[in-house]
């Protein structure tokens, strides 16, 4: 079946430093990947939508300069949180449509970012 | 821009009872809707999709969609303690999927 793995599951970084998180699609081709952040209050914000061989579309309040994303092939994507501060805390989720079931997004378990 | 209102914020039902969750959407052009479930420490998992008006039943779960009213609901029959989780409705808003704010369901044994 289709699975999405995210690494690391949890990470802590010092304020002002950066951290990179990875997303691996197994069993299907992730032509597009949606990166979301789930706040400590559990609300979802779409950060960006990445499509292989196409420009990455960032949502308002999120920029490439702050959240650079790489999506080099159909099974892997990574995102970095640069210069992390307290407001960047949350669960970062990678979701990909499998192509069947009308593009239902399948999510990984997320990378939980804490900032000290 | 798609806005999603989800209610209730939290819900307690006895084991064996019926849980009812509701969502309203703002974008009349939305075509696809989902219910996701998230257990503690995990990512959200797609529980059910519904794309046509009416009811869709999968086991103990029934989703209802009324596009004219921009309304989606989820009913869980014979609720089990393992159903205790955060539930999110989601719908398309243009090119993206927009999520509700969540309902925390607790099924008490």
pLDDT band (50, 70, 90) for residue A102 = low
B43 and A6: CB-CB below 8 Å?
Answer: yes
B94 touches chain A (CB under 8 A): no
A49 and B102: CB-CB below 8 Å?
Answer: no
Cα dihedral B89, B38, A74, A17 in deg (nearest 10): 110
Report the gap between the CA of A101 and the closest CA in chain B (Å).
8
Query: What is the mean pLDDT of the segment spanning A105-109?
Result: 94
Cα separation, B32 vs B41, whole angstroms:
27
Q: Are strands B85-93 and B103-108 parallel, antiparallel or unpaired?
A: antiparallel
Q: Which residue of A has its CA nearest to B91?
A: A104
Contacting A residues, span 22-41, partner chain B, CB-CB under 8 Å: 34, 36
Query: Which chain A positions have a beta carbon within 8 Å of B96's beta carbon?
Result: 34, 46, 49, 59
B57-94 per-position pLDDT tens digit: 999 999 999 999 999 999 999 999 999 999 999 998 77
Contacting B residues, span 55-74, partner chain A, CB-CB under 8 Å: none
Element (H, E) at B72: strand B71-76
Cα separation, A90 vs A107, whole angstroms:
15
DSSP state of A88: G
Query: What is the mean pLDDT of the segment spanning A53-76?
Result: 94
Residues A45-79 as b or e (16 or more Cβ within 10 Å = b): ebbbbbebeeebebeeebeeebbbbebeebeebbb
A85 touches chain B (CB under 8 A): no
B30-55 per-position pLDDT tens digit: 889 999 999 998 999 999 999 999 99
Contacting A residues, span 87-106, partner chain B, CB-CB under 8 Å: 91, 93, 95, 101-106
């Amino acid at each position: 079946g289709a699975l999405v793995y995210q690494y690391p599951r949890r990470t802590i970084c010092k304020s002002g430093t950066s951290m990179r998180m990875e997303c691996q699609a197994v069993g299907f081709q992730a032509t597009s990947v949606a990166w979301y952040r789930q706040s400590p209050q559990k609300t979802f914000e779409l950060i960006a939508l990445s499509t292989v061989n196409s420009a990455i579309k960032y949502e308002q309040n999120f920029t490439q300069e702050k959240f650079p994303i790489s999506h080099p092939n159909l099974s892997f994507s990574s995102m970095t949180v640069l210069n992390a501060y307290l407001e960047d805390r949350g669960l970062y989720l990678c979701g990909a449509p499998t192509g069947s079931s009308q593009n239902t997004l399948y999510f990984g378990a997320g990378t939980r970012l804490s900032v000290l | 821009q798609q806005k999603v209102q989800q209610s209730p914020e939290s819900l307690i039902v006895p084991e064996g009872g019926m849980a009812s969750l509701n969502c309203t959407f703002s974008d009349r052009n939305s075509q696809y809707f989902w219910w996701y479930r998230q257990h503690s420490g995990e990512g959200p998992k797609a529980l059910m999709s519904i794309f046509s008006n009416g009811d869709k039943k999968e086991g103990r779960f029934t989703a209802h969609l009324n596009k004219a009213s921009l309304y989606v609901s989820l009913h869980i029959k014979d609720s089990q303690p393992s159903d205790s989780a955060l539930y999110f409705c989601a719908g398309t808003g243009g090119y993206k999927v927009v999520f509700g704010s969540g309902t925390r369901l607790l099924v008490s044994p």
